[in-house]
Amino acid sequence: MALPDEILLSIDKPERYIGNEVNMVRKNPDDVDIRFAMCFPDVYEIGMSHLGIQILYDMFNRRDDVYCERVYSPWLDLDKVMREKDIPLFAIESQDNIKDFDFLGITLQYEMCYANVLQVLDLSKIPLIASERSDSDPIVIGGGPCTYNPEPLADFFDIFYIGEGEKQYYRLFDIYKEHKKKGGSRQEFLEKAAEIPGMYVPAFYDVEYNEDGTIKSFVPNNSHAQKKIVKQLVVDMQSTDPEAEYNYYPRKPLVPFIKATQDRVVLEIQRGCIRGCRFCQAGMVYRPVRERNVEYLKNMASEMLKSTGHEEISLSSLSSSDYSHLEEIINYLIDEFGKKGVNISLPSLRIDAFSLDIMSKVQDVRKSSLTFAPEAGSQRLRNVINKGLTEEVILNGASLAFKGGWNRVKLYFMLGIPTETEEDMKGIAELCEKVAEVYYEIPKTERNGKVQITASSSFFIPKPFTPFQWAPMCTKEQFLERAKIVNGRMKEMLNKKSIRYNWHEADVSVIEGLLARGDRKVAKTVLRAYELGCLYDAWSDSYDNEKWQQAIKDTGIDMDFYITRERSTDEFLPWDFIDIGVTKKFLKNEWENAKNETVTPNCRMKCNGCGAAVFGGGVCFEN
């Protein structure tokens, strides 16, 4: 073990670091050509819940010449001990030092984990700045949704992979194997990697700025680098053959020793979303919608439950209600596993009669709470964001749910959406009141106790590759003022005792906005924040706003430039060198539609020519 017993016994949850979980892959490191350390830069319980890592872990380890192992961010207690005792960061499987691996792959799921990325590099004794690494250091490669604007981390990564990992990693490994055999240099390998579609090597590009701070030019400085990095995605997800090309999915997922955040088997039913909400980055970057074959899913469900012993199966997608075989797969799971005590979890459902009927089938007598995401308090603002959800649909859904025995509802909203007025803000409280009124319209004898409504509001962050990428963002003070208006209106409601209201931390949202839309200059701010002690910023107990403000001041970052200004649609944005299929022209049209409060129909109602058809599959070609 990398950690002696006295350390393991002195820290919280030592099971995070010892490996040997059910379905863990064991190989002799001396028998493989490539060693890959797969990192989730957060605590073990969060990382073990991530489906993407489970898929790639299984996929990489199918190759006899590759050994993929895992590493997570050490929690604060172990972080302190490792620094004091000079213990290098290690992989869970072999307990070997990360520095001895060929690759360190880091998944970037959310912006507030960026300081943890530097923690992982630092504890691994890998130079933080990519240009300072030698041939003996691992190749540091980043993947995941945050790579759709990799620039705030450009200084720290050798490569970013843009898109779905199943597509190009085997090709990268073949090139690396050949390179390693010939004893080539780090630079030579990066040049070969840069030629692979979807691979972005930041060092091979020069950025020049205008006097006002905007980007003047972004051009390759190496002949091997591509001018545009095209998103990679798996188009055909209809194959039933588990060995078919790109049809990688873990039949034997890892089972953690301690309770993970998502302690269940996860069945991915589709990728992408037809809805086109204008604030949603995932809805744009994962286009087009591609459904998995229902027979394949049935087989996978059986195999995964058998190999893990889990007692719950979750259907994963951005919008489960839009999966065309949802009823078939649900009925199969109920018939096959319901009597064996297996629960079925259905996130991302729309609340309509069909969904409620399905939920009634899968939930026991103790009805859990239902979740609606109206996002905005008024119909006008829901049209601005293209939510496609009317008040009538929301209240009708609530009525059906209450009559079906539910009495707890969670409502999710956003504050700070472009064009938002005070009337829109107060509409949040008024919509909650109307939902409560619907409950009390039911005869007392048919009610299930008191109604409980929990309303939560996050703060709007304009993300890259959304129609709102040009929009201004609120300051911390503006966000809090909006929350105060909503809270004040809540207290005026007749059913205020049945409604609970809470809101996200405004200061965290502002930093997230900086990291989401920043350019390469922001990398020095991330580094300074880490030097000042920032770590686990996604955890409210660990987040230290004063340190982040100090880092911003120390590195001369103008927050107004990155946060509060509206960007011109002619401006070259830091992520404009990436091609996600969805065109800039479509995003501009949607930005105008938002300002005009015009609703755009979903992909199955009408093709809106977003550009995703260029990939040659999915919903674009259904009919």
Tens digits of per-residue pLDDT, 541-588?
999 999 999 999 999 999 999 999 999 999 999 999 999 999 999 999
CA-nearest of 184, 167, 143 to 39 is 143
Q: Angle at the Cα of 420 (from 417 to 424), degrees rounded to 5?
A: 115
Q: CA 347 to CA 345: how far, in whole Å?
A: 6
Looking from the CA of 152 toward its CB, the CA atoms found within 13 Å total 30
Percent of the chain with pLDDT over 70: 99
Return the pLDDT at 363.
Answer: 65
Contact in structure between 605 and 247 (CB atoms under 8 Å): no
Give just the sign of the alpha carbon dihedral 7, 91, 112, 374. negative
CA-nearest of 515, 565, 464, 526 to 212 is 565
Looking from the CA of 517 toward its CB, the CA atoms found within 13 Å total 32
Tokens, residue 321: 């209600």
Tens digits of per-residue pLDDT, 402-421?
888 889 999 999 999 999 99
Return the pLDDT at 366.
Answer: 45
Residue 452's H or E segment, with its range, is: strand 452-459
Return the pLDDT at 359.
Answer: 74
Tens digits of per-residue pLDDT, 452-463?
999 999 999 999
Longest dimension (CA), the chain: 79
Q: CA 176 to CA 182: how far, in whole Å?
A: 10
Give just the sign of the alpha carbon dihedral 92, 93, 96, 100. negative
Tokens, residue 210: 């205008």
Q: CA 147 to CA 105: how far, in whole Å?
A: 13
Contact in structure between 311 and 342 (CB atoms under 8 Å): yes
Q: CA 65 to CA 27: how far, in whole Å?
A: 10
Give me the helix-helix angle, 545-554 and 506-517, nearest 10°. Answer: 40
Contact in structure between 287 and 581 (CB atoms under 8 Å): yes
Return the pLDDT at 426.
Answer: 98
Tens digits of per-residue pLDDT, 165-211?
999 999 999 999 999 999 999 999 999 999 999 999 999 999 999 99
> Whose structure tokens read 């609530």?
398
Residue 495's CB is within 10 A of a number of other CB atoms, namely 18
Q: Is the pLDDT of residue 335 over 50?
A: yes
pLDDT band at 367 (very low <50, low <70, confident <90, very high): low
Q: Is the pLDDT of residue 364 over 70?
A: no
Q: CA 537 to CA 553: how far, in whole Å?
A: 18
Tokens, residue 551: 């880092």
Q: Quick check: helix, strand or coil at residue 31?
A: helix
Residue 374's H or E segment, with its range, is: strand 370-375
Q: Quick check: helix, strand or coil at residue 371?
A: strand
Q: Quick check: helix, strand or coil at residue 414?
A: strand
Q: Is the pLDDT of residue 262 over 80?
A: no
CA-nearest of 119, 123, 87 to 3 is 87
Between the alpha carbon of residue 299 and those of residues 218, 240, 367, the distances in Å are 47, 9, 29
Residue 488's CB is within 10 A of a number of other CB atoms, namely 12
Contact in structure between 470 and 569 (CB atoms under 8 Å): yes
Q: CA 35 to CA 99: how far, in whole Å?
A: 11
CA-nearest of 38, 167, 54 to 103 is 38
Contact in structure between 71 and 98 (CB atoms under 8 Å): yes
Q: What is the mean pLDDT of the chain?
A: 95
Residue 448 vs residue 533, higher pLDDT: 533
Give me the helix-helix angle, 523-531 and 114-123, nearest 10°. Answer: 60
Contact in structure between 528 and 161 (CB atoms under 8 Å): no
Q: Is the pLDDT of residue 261 over 80?
A: no
Return the pLDDT at 244.
Answer: 73
As a whole number, mean pLDDT of residues 289-310 equals 94
Contact in structure between 177 and 34 (CB atoms under 8 Å): yes
pLDDT band at 156 (very low <50, low <70, confident <90, very high): very high
Q: Is the pLDDT of residue 376 over 50?
A: yes
pLDDT band at 238 (very low <50, low <70, confident <90, very high): confident
Q: CA 547 to CA 553: how far, in whole Å?
A: 10
Range with lowest mean pLDDT among 396-400, 437-441, 478-482, 509-513 = 396-400
